[in-house]
Structure 1
Amino acid sequence: MNLQFAPLSLLPLFTSLVGIVIATYAWRLRPKRGATALTLLSVAATVWTLGYALEIAGADLLTKLFCAKVEYLGIATVPLCWLIFSLEYAGRDRWLTRRNLALISIIPLVTILLAFTTEAHGLIWSTFSLDGGNSSAPLLVSHGAWFWVYWIYGQLIVLAGTIIVIRTLLGAQQLYRSQASLILIAALLPWVGNFLYVSGLNPIPPLDLTPFAFVLSAVAVTLGLSRFRLISLTPIAQATVIESMNDGMFVIDAHDNLADLNPAAERLLGISAAQVIGQPVAAVFQAWPDLVGRYQHIDEIRDEIKLGNGTGRRYYELRLSSLKNRRGELTGRVLLVRDITELIDARDRALEADRLKSELLARVSHELRTPLSAILGYAELLHDGSFGPLAEHQQVAVMEMMGSTQELTILVNELLDSAQLEAHALALRIRPFDPIEMLQRVENTLAVLAHNKGLELTTTASPDLPATLAGDESRLRQILINLIGNAIKFTESGFVRVHLYCVDEERWAMEVSDTGPGIPAGAQRLIFEPFRQVDGSVTREFRGTGLGLSIVKSLVALMGGSVKLESEVGQGSTFTITLPLQPRVESS
C-alpha cells in the first residue's frame, strides 16, 4: 500500500479516531439497551471514514481503489446498523428476528462482494481513475448499475430508521425533550450530509460528508445514552412494557382507524398487526359490531363486557382513554382490554359459596332454635319445682343446664342474624320507643352479671335526649347488650358506663365505656369482621363466635348510623354508636 501525506485526508482521519472512541465507549455501556447497535454503527462509520482517509492519502490508483473497496465494508453496513438502532430505540426489536435480519442483509453482503470484484463486472464502478491526475484527491469513479440498486436500498433503509425514530419522538413526554432533541439531530445528520454532497453545496469539495454525518450521529446518540440515559428511559421503557404486558392495547386515531396494537392485542384478535393497522375499527372488530357501536363515540370509559356464550364465553375489562394534543384537541384513543374471565369465575364461585354458607347457617339456626327453646323451657320448669322439689345438687345441675342452653341460644341467634344480614334479608321494625325505658331494661338484664364480677354498671341519659325516639327497639337493645356484655366479659375491675345523648339536631348516640384491657391498634379494624377476635390470652378465656361486633356494625349500618372505637391497651375502650334521629323509612 503506497500512501502519502494529503491535507484533505486529515478531516476523515480525525473523524475516524472520534468514531473509534465512540465505539469503545458505546461498547462499555453494555448491557444498556441499544449500546450494541450503537457500537456496530460507530464501527461501520469508522471503517467508512478511515477507508476514505486512506483513499485520499493513496499515492497511486491501485491503493486508492483498494481503500475504496474497504470503505464498502462500512458503506454497506451503516444503513443496516442505523435501522437496527432505530428499532431498538423505538422498542420494536421484536422485528429483529434472525429471518428478518438475514433478509435485509442480503443486499449489503452482495454489495460488499461486488465492490471487491468490481474490475470483473463494473457493477459498482464502471470506470475509475485519478481526478485529473491529482493523487491527493478521492478516486474519480463512474457508478455502475448495482451501485444505484444499493443506493436506493440504503436510502430506503435510512429513511425507514429515521421515520421510526421521528414517530417515536412525537410521542415523547416533556420530561424527555433533551433526549428527543439529541436523537432527532442524530437522525437528520446523515440526510444533511448526503444532501450537501449530492446537491453540489458541499462546503469542502470534493469530500463526501455522509460518513462524517454518521459519526456525528453516533456521537449525539452516545451523549444521550450516557448523559441522559436515553435508551434506559422512555420511550424504550414504555414500549417494552406495552409489548410485554398481558393486556391488549389498541391505539385508535382521530379518524377511527387502528394506528397500532401490541402482541397481546394480536393474540386477542387472532391476527397480525400488519393485517389490521390502518384499517377502520369497525372492520377490525367486525365480529363484535355491538361493541363498536356502543363505544364508537365515547372518549373515556371503564366497563366490563361478556363476549360469547356457553363454554366459549369470556369476560373482559375495557378501559378507553382519550389522547389529546397541547391544544386539547382529540388526536386519538387508547383501548386497553384485559381478560378477567378467571377473576369473574372465581368471584361467582365465592359468591355462590357464600350464599350456600348463609343458607346453611340460617337453616341450621332455625332447626336448632326449636329444640333449644324446649330444653330451656323444661329446665325452667324443673328449676321452678313444677315437677316436684329438687335436691340441692339437682338445683345446681339444672342451673348449669339453663346457663349452657342460654349461651347456646345466643350463639345460634348470632349465626341466624349474621346469615340474614349477609343475605340482606333482615328488616328493621321502626316504631316509637322510650330510650330511657329501653336503657333500664338493658341494665336490668346485665346488672347481675356485672355485680358477680364486682364491676360498677352505670347508665345515664342527657336531658336533651328526646323522650321518644323512632327505631327498632329490639335491635337497639341487642346492640347495647352485645357491647355492654363484651365490656363486662373482658373487664376485670373498674366500671362499665353507658351514656345516651344527642349529637346534634339530626343525630343521637349510645356510648359504652369500660376500664378493660383495651384493644391494640392493629386489631381494632379486625374485631368488626365476622368470626374474628382479638388474639390474646384474655379473649381465649371466653367462648363466642366472634360475630357479635360484626352484627353490631351491620345493624348500625342498616340503621344509617356509624360505629366509632377509641381504645388504648391498658386504658380501656369506648364504643360510640351514632344514629339518625329520623331513621330510614324504607327499612320499616
Structure 2
Amino acid sequence: MTFYTLALEITLLLAVWLAIGALQRDRRLTGRLTYAAAAAGAAIWAAGTLLEQRGEIYLLARRVQVLGILTVPALWFGVAAHAVKLPLIRRTPWIPLLLMVPVAPLYALMFAGPWSVLYLPAMDAKVMEVGPLFWWSVAYAWALVMAGVVVLLRGAIQAPEALLRRERVKMALSVLVPLAASGFNIARIHDGIWAPDFTPILIAVTLLAFRRSILSGGVLDVVPVAQSDIIRHLPFGVVLADGQGAVIDLNPAAEELLEMSYDDAVGRALEAVIGRAALDVRIEISSVRGRGGESARFALLEPPKAAVGAADGAALSSATG
C-alpha cells in the first residue's frame, strides 16, 4: 500500500464521517444538507480514485471519480453561499442542483459509447486523453469555485463583526489550496502524464478545517441529550457560544426575545446577538466546559416577569387542558 493510497482511504472515511455528522446537526441549520452533499462528493471522488489505483476496473473507476469531480464545485458554491447566509440560497436552497445541470450531459457521455470521445475518450486504461468538452467542464468548475470565493470575500466585507470577517476570509483563502492542486493535475493531463490527484484529499481537509464555521455545534455538543431537551423548553432564553465567542445554539425562547432566528444568530459574536435584547430583559453570561474538554460560554436571558407569568400560565393550561 502506497502513501497515496492510504491518504485516499483516510480521506474517504473522513468525508463520510463529515457527511454523516452534518446530517445529524440541528435541522434549523439550513446549510447542513449542502455541506453533507459536498462531503459526500469528496468521498465519491476519493472512492473513484482509489478504484483507479487497483488497475483492473478503470471504466467503473472513472465513472465514480467523475461523478465526484462534476458535483463538488456546485456544492462548494452552495456551502460558501450558506456560510455568508446569502438571501438567494436561503430562499432557494436547491441552487447547487441547478448549477449541476450544465455538466449532467457530460456524465451521460461516459455511458454513450463512441460519443464519450467528446469528454473522456480513454476510460479503459491509465491514459490521460481528454476531449474538447473536458476543458469546458474545467472552466465551468473553476468559475463556480471562484464565484464561491467572491461570495465569501463579499460576505466578509459586509460582516457586522470581526469574528465573521476573519472566518469568511479564511474560508475563501483555504479553497485556493485544493484549487491549486487541481490546476497542477490538469496541467499534467494536458501534457499526457498521469499524476496522483490530491484534490479530493485537500477538499476533505478543507471541509474538516471549517466544519465549526459552517456547521456550528448545537447544545448536544456540550450537554447530554436529556438536558438539551429541557433547555429547548425553558421559558427563558439560552444562547450558547463556543470558546471563540461565536454563537452555536439558542433555544426558541431566546429566538423570541432577541427577535432573531436560529440561522441568523449562529456564527455571530455572542455579544452582538444578545445586544439585540430589549432593555427590560435581564442577561447573565457564564462559562461551561463540554464533554470533550472544550470551553464554551452561554447567556441566560430572563424575560420581563409579566411575560414569564404568561408563559407559565400557557404551559399550565396546555398541560391540564
TM-score range, shorter chain: 0.5 to 0.7
- Could you tell me which residue of structure 2 aligns to residue 206 of structure 1? 195
8 Å contact from structure 1 (residues 44, 78) kept in 2: yes
Counting strand residues as a fraction of each chain, which structure ranks higher? 1
Q: 2:134 aligns with which of 147, 169, 175?
A: 147
Q: Give the TM-score, by structure 1 length.
A: 0.34
Instruction: Tell me the alpha carbon deviations over residues 435-490 of structure 1, each in whole angstroms, 9 at most, x when there is no partner.
Output: xxxxxxxxxxxxxxxxxxxxxxxxxxxxxxxxxxxxxxxxxxxxxxxxxxxxxxxx
1:187 aligns with 2:186: no
Q: Cα offset for 1:48?
A: 0.4
8 Å contact from structure 2 (residues 152, 169) kept in 1: no
Q: Distance in 2 between matches of 1:93 and 1:174?
A: 21
Paired letter, 1:213: L
- Could you tell me which residue of structure 1 aligns to residue 163 of structure 2? 175
Q: Distance in 2 between matches of 1:55 and 1:110?
A: 23
Q: Cα offset for 1:20?
A: 0.9
1:50 aligns with 2:10: no
- Could you tell me which residue of structure 2 aligns to residue 237 of structure 1? 264
- The alignment's C-alpha RMSD in Å is 3.3
- Could you tell me which residue of structure 2 aligns to residue 12 of structure 1? 8
- Could you tell me which residue of structure 1 aligns to residue 301 of structure 2? none
- Could you tell me which residue of structure 1 aligns to residue 75 of structure 2? 81
Paired letter, 2:51: L
Secondary structure of the corresponding residue to residue 122 of structure 2:
strand
**Does the C-alpha gap of structure 1 residues 188 and 117 become closer, same or farther in structure 2, counting only changes over 3 Å?**
same
**Does the C-alpha gap of structure 1 residues 6 and 65 become closer, same or farther in structure 2, counting only changes over 3 Å?**
farther
Larger Rg: 1
Instruction: Tell me the alpha carbon deviations over residues 225-256 of structure 1, each in whole angstroms, 9 at most, x when there is no partner.
Output: 3465588799x7279xxxxxxxxxxxxxxxxx
Q: Identify unmatched segments of 5+ residues in structure 1.
A: 131-138, 240-588
**Does the C-alpha gap of structure 1 residues 164 and 180 become closer, same or farther in structure 2, counting only changes over 3 Å?**
closer
1:291-440 paired onto structure 2 within 5 Å: none
Q: Distance in 1 between matches of 2:204 and 2:97?
A: 25
- Could you tell me which residue of structure 1 aligns to residue 228 of structure 2? none
8 Å contact from structure 1 (residues 124, 147) kept in 2: yes
Q: Distance in 2 between matches of 1:27 and 1:207?
A: 31
8 Å contact from structure 1 (residues 118, 124) kept in 2: no
**Does the C-alpha gap of structure 1 residues 117 and 216 become closer, same or farther in structure 2, counting only changes over 3 Å?**
farther
Q: Cα offset for 1:156?
A: 0.8
1:64 aligns with 2:54: no
8 Å contact from structure 1 (residues 49, 212) kept in 2: yes
Q: 1:37 aligns with which of 18, 30, 34?
A: 34
**Does the C-alpha gap of structure 1 residues 187 and 18 become closer, same or farther in structure 2, counting only changes over 3 Å?**
same
- Could you tell me which residue of structure 2 aligns to residue 583 of structure 1? none
**Does the C-alpha gap of structure 1 residues 101 and 53 become closer, same or farther in structure 2, counting only changes over 3 Å?**
closer
Paired letter, 2:264: A
**Does the C-alpha gap of structure 1 residues 98 and 170 become closer, same or farther in structure 2, counting only changes over 3 Å?**
closer
8 Å contact from structure 2 (residues 155, 165) kept in 1: no
Secondary structure of the corresponding residue to residue 141 of structure 1:
coil
Q: Identify unmatched segments of 5+ residues in structure 2.
A: 189-193, 218-241, 251-259, 267-321
Q: Give the TM-score, by structure 2 length.
A: 0.59
Q: Distance in 2 between matches of 1:175 and 1:101?
A: 27
Percent sequence identity over matched residues?
A: 21
Instruction: Tell me the alpha carbon deviations over residues 368-419 of structure 1, each in whole angstroms, 9 at most, x when there is no partner.
Output: xxxxxxxxxxxxxxxxxxxxxxxxxxxxxxxxxxxxxxxxxxxxxxxxxxxx
Secondary structure of the corresponding residue to residue 140 of structure 1:
coil
Q: Distance in 1 between matches of 2:210 and 2:22?
A: 9
**Does the C-alpha gap of structure 1 residues 93 and 119 become closer, same or farther in structure 2, counting only changes over 3 Å?**
farther
**Does the C-alpha gap of structure 1 residues 186 and 226 become closer, same or farther in structure 2, counting only changes over 3 Å?**
farther
Q: Distance in 2 between matches of 1:80 and 1:141?
A: 24
- Could you tell me which residue of structure 2 aligns to residue 444 of structure 1? none
Q: Distance in 1 between matches of 2:177 and 2:53?
A: 23
**Does the C-alpha gap of structure 1 residues 98 and 81 become closer, same or farther in structure 2, counting only changes over 3 Å?**
closer
Q: How many residues align?
A: 221
**Does the C-alpha gap of structure 1 residues 124 and 147 become closer, same or farther in structure 2, counting only changes over 3 Å?**
same
- Could you tell me which residue of structure 2 aligns to residue 283 of structure 1? none
Q: Distance in 1 between matches of 2:249 and 2:182?
A: 30
Question: After the TM superposition, which segments of 4 or more aligned residues of structure 1 sit over 4 Å from their partners?
Answer: 98-103, 227-234
8 Å contact from structure 1 (residues 48, 72) kept in 2: yes
Q: Distance in 2 between matches of 1:153 and 1:190?
A: 16
1:223 aligns with 2:217: no
**Does the C-alpha gap of structure 1 residues 56 and 23 become closer, same or farther in structure 2, counting only changes over 3 Å?**
same
Q: Cα offset for 1:176?
A: 3.6
8 Å contact from structure 2 (residues 118, 133) kept in 1: yes
Q: Cα offset for 1:46?
A: 0.5
- Could you tell me which residue of structure 2 aligns to residue 126 of structure 1? 121
**Does the C-alpha gap of structure 1 residues 98 and 111 become closer, same or farther in structure 2, counting only changes over 3 Å?**
farther
- Could you tell me which residue of structure 2 aligns to residue 305 of structure 1? none
Q: Distance in 1 between matches of 2:40 and 2:13?
A: 11
Q: Cα offset for 1:215?
A: 1.0
**Does the C-alpha gap of structure 1 residues 210 and 99 become closer, same or farther in structure 2, counting only changes over 3 Å?**
closer
**Does the C-alpha gap of structure 1 residues 36 and 208 become closer, same or farther in structure 2, counting only changes over 3 Å?**
same
8 Å contact from structure 1 (residues 27, 39) kept in 2: yes
Q: Cα offset for 1:219?
A: 0.7
